[in-house]
């Protein structure tokens, strides 16, 4: 279930990158000078950090590290 949710989140971000709804819109200007299309992609980029934070907390491949630690201890 967790893997399915992660897959859906990644697919959603891939789809959300194609923001055709902003295609011909310059306004509103955020903070008076940032066009909406640019502001959208800045927010989008920052939202990837949120996804990464969730992935680190719930999907980190810690078994890879543990296997190496075990092998190093046995050596």
Q: Where do contacts with another protein occur on this chain (CB under 8 A)?
A: 10, 13-14, 17-20, 22-27, 29, 32-35, 37-38, 41-42, 44-46, 48-49, 52-53, 55-56, 60-61, 64-65, 67-68, 71
Q: Least distance from C-beta 48 to another protein, angstroms? A: 4
User: b or e along 37-50 (b: 16 or more beta carbons within 10 Å of the residue's beta carbon)?
Assistant: eeebeeeeeeeeee
Nearer to another protein, 5 or 53 (CB): 53
Q: How far apart are CA 47 and CA 1, in angstroms?
A: 22
């Amino acid at each position: 279930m967790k893997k399915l949710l992660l897959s859906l989140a990644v697919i959603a971000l891939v789809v959300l990158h194609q923001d055709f709804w902003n295609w011909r819109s310059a306004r509103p200007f955020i903070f008076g000078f940032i066009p909406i299309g640019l502001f959208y992609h800045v927010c989008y980029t920052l939202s990837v950090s949120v996804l990464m934070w969730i992935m680190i907390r719930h999907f980190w491949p810690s078994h890879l590290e543990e296997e190496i630690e075990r092998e190093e201890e046995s050596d």
